[in-house]
Amino acid sequence: MSPSDPSGPDDDDDPAALRRRIAELERENARLRAGLWEPSSPDVVATPAEVKPLFDAASRTLREYFRRIQVDPARAMIGVDDERYVLVRASAFSIDFLDTFVQLYADRGEREALAIGRGFLFDIAHTIGLHDARTMHAKLGARAPLEKLSGGPVHFAYTGWALVDIKPESHPSPDDDYCLIYEHPYSFEADSFRRAGRTSEGPVCIMNAGYSSGWCEASFGLELTAVEIACKARGDDACRFVMAPPHRVAARVQEHFGIDLAAFGERGLEIPAYFERKRVEEDLRRSLRMLAEAQDELVRKERLATVGLLVSGVAHEVNTPLGVAVTANGIVEEEHAALEQRFAAGQLTRGDLRTSLGRARQAAGMVRTNLERAASLIASFKRVSVDHATQERRAIELVGYIRQTLDSLRPVSRGALEIELSGDGALEIETYPGALAQIITNFVTNSAAHGRPADAAAPLPVRIHVARRSPTAVSLVYEDGGVGMTDEVRARAFQPFFTTARGAGGTGLGLHIVSSLVTDVLGGKLELVTAPGRGVRFEIELPASARGAASGRA
């Protein structure tokens, strides 16, 4: 080794020589880094002349920024000015990605699969563009919208996405008239298709459109989208884009290029919209919410109709004792008037007085008895009606409470049903009586309306039996001997709005309400056993205490 060799043994002990060698290596490293980001042309973005100085300034700043690069594969590090970057094969986010989606969604057809894939790419790129813009705005110290925009095409070029050629007819204003017309002569997406020897039916530069619209959205504070109207991957002369607010982009394309985007849509090439899937999901959730609210309203009306039925029962049942009381009171008044006439005429005898007072006493007794009967009926109806309208938990004797509910349903069941109620002694339970009354009411009205054969003359037999299954549970069985249900009807019996009596007053909510009350309010279980011509049998298991059930819901 010659004495002049800088790596010779003498230099190992010479600090000055080592410092010189280190400085030389640093200069060499700087030259290598400068060459890595040295553009072949001074311009990395093409713009109209009036805004070129602004973009030139951004180019100089970002050129220095990208010279500060660190590459260390041992630490999986590619860093630029302390910002970490990631190198990804261009085709991975272009032709390879779209081909994969076509395979994954083969059952939906190529057009729909490509639409789904484009949606993903656009959303990913738009998000990256938004956040890259915010980061670079701070590094550039940019404040005005156009100044913020200027860094985007330069950053785009240095990171390998595309070169941007902004056309003079562009109008990038911070309002609804925003319009940016530009081309990407070196789009990585179109290049991926061309390198693979493939052509595309439609534009393929999805990420370029998403990224650029995301950057501009962050720069101007507007909701923007970009649509590619021509693409080299399709055989066009350029990859050409129009960017505008989503509701204006179709008009801008028509205005500047005479292209009807509706025709693009017929080929599955729709205007991209940021997170369109999220908006569709939100619309769906909103529709489901509205449907649920409408269903709740129908359920409320169904229950009000039940309360109305009970009020009708009150009127019918109380009318008889009140009628008797009114008649008896009339007798008392007649006897009183007759006594006054005889007394005034001096014809009142002791015998007449005794007879008249006896008849008046008898009539007064009838008034009292029938008024008490009416008061008792009203109290019973009031309790059941209030229970229908509220969800208050309290202790009841199960058989007695069901009997009260059946009494309130006489206007429905009289002549139509012959109801037999039985139970294994007194069954005290703590529950939600309103829910229980609603269940019995729906069973009875369903049997009366739909259980009897059309040609039946005799009342339909109904049996209700309650029993204690265990120390913590009771059973309630309701069965009628009516027409029953087919397997198809039984499978859908508890679905909301399903009815076999559409057009005949059926809402399809009665048994759905029963199911909801049993499971959601009372915390029980419900089974339906039925067959054509063999009636229905509802078997309900209820907890003896409903403390664990969901209160306040009906």
Per-residue pLDDT tens for 491-550? Answer: 888 887 677 765 444 556 678 888 888 988 888 999 999 999 889 999 999 998 744 333
| Structural domain contains residue 423 | yes
User: Nearest-CA neighbor of 256 among 185, 178, 170, 174?
Assistant: 170
End-to-end Cα, the chain, rounded Å? 97
| Structural domain contains residue 208 | yes
Residue 242 confidence (pLDDT): 96
Q: Is the pLDDT of residue 156 over 70?
A: yes
| Structural domain contains residue 362 | no
Given 215, 250, 274, which residue is the final one in a domain?
274
Strand 473-480 relative to strand 536-543, pairing: antiparallel
Q: Does 103 share its domain with 228?
A: yes
- CA angle 312-316-318, nearest 5°? 115
| Structural domain contains residue 225 | yes
User: Nearest-CA neighbor of 516 among 385, 391, 382, 386?
Assistant: 391
| Structural domain contains residue 287 | no
pLDDT in tens, 207-222: 999 999 999 999 999 9
Amino acid, single-letter form, for residue 73: P
The Cα-based distances of 152 to 128, 143, 166, 171, 242 in angstroms read 12, 14, 12, 16, 16
In whole angstroms, what separates CA 382 from the centre of its chain?
A: 39
Q: Does 254 share its domain with 397?
A: no
| Structural domain contains residue 33 | no
Question: What is the percent of the chain where pLDDT is above 70?
Answer: 79
Q: Does 105 share its domain with 246?
A: yes
Residues 6+ apart with CB under 8 A from 417: 444, 447, 448, 459, 460, 461, 462, 480
Residue 6 confidence (pLDDT): 47
| Structural domain contains residue 326 | no
- CA angle 332-338-339, nearest 5°? 90
Boundaries of domain holding 160? 90-274
| CATH number for position 453 | 3.30.565.10
CA-to-CA distance for 334 and 339, rounded, in angstroms? 9
| Structural domain contains residue 129 | yes
User: Nearest-CA neighbor of 300 among 288, 292, 310?
Assistant: 292
The Cα-based distances of 119 to 205, 206, 276 in angstroms read 12, 8, 8
Given 254, 274, 294, which residue is the final one in a domain?
274
Q: Is the pLDDT of residue 408 over 90?
A: no
CA-to-CA distance for 313 and 492, rounded, in angstroms? 31
Residue 14 DSSP SS3: coil
pLDDT in tens, 72-97: 899 999 999 889 999 999 999 999 99
Residues 6+ apart with CB under 8 A from 476: 398, 402, 464, 465, 466, 539, 540, 542
pLDDT in tens, 254-267: 999 998 888 776 65
Q: Does 394 share its domain with 249?
A: no
Given 274, 289, 305, which residue is the final one in a domain?
274
Of residues 378 and 74, more confidently modeled? 74
Per-residue pLDDT band for 2 (boundaries 50, 70, 90) equals very low
Q: Is the pLDDT of residue 137 over 60?
A: yes
Residue 144 confidence (pLDDT): 94
CA-to-CA distance for 161 and 152, rounded, in angstroms? 11
Q: In 10 A of CB 83, how many CB atoms?
A: 13
| CATH number for position 253 | 3.30.1380.20
Q: Is the pLDDT of residue 140 over 70?
A: yes
Number of domains the chain contains? 2
Q: Does 122 share its domain with 263?
A: yes
The per-residue pLDDT of the chain, averaged, comes to 82
Q: Is the pLDDT of residue 174 over 50?
A: yes
Mapping DSSP onto H, E and C, the string for 336-367 reads: HHHHHHHHHHCCCCHHHHHHHHHHHHHHHHHH
Per-residue pLDDT band for 551 (boundaries 50, 70, 90) equals very low
DSSP annotation of 8 reads S
Q: Is the pLDDT of residue 554 over 50?
A: no
- CA angle 463-492-545, nearest 5°? 55
Backbone angles phi, psi at 247, to 5 degrees: -80, -5
Q: Does 243 share its domain with 118?
A: yes
Strand 394-397 relative to strand 83-84, pairing: unpaired
Q: Does 266 share its domain with 400?
A: no
CA-to-CA distance for 452 and 482, rounded, in angstroms? 5
Six-digit token pair at 73? 């594969």
Q: In 10 A of CB 453, how many CB atoms?
A: 10
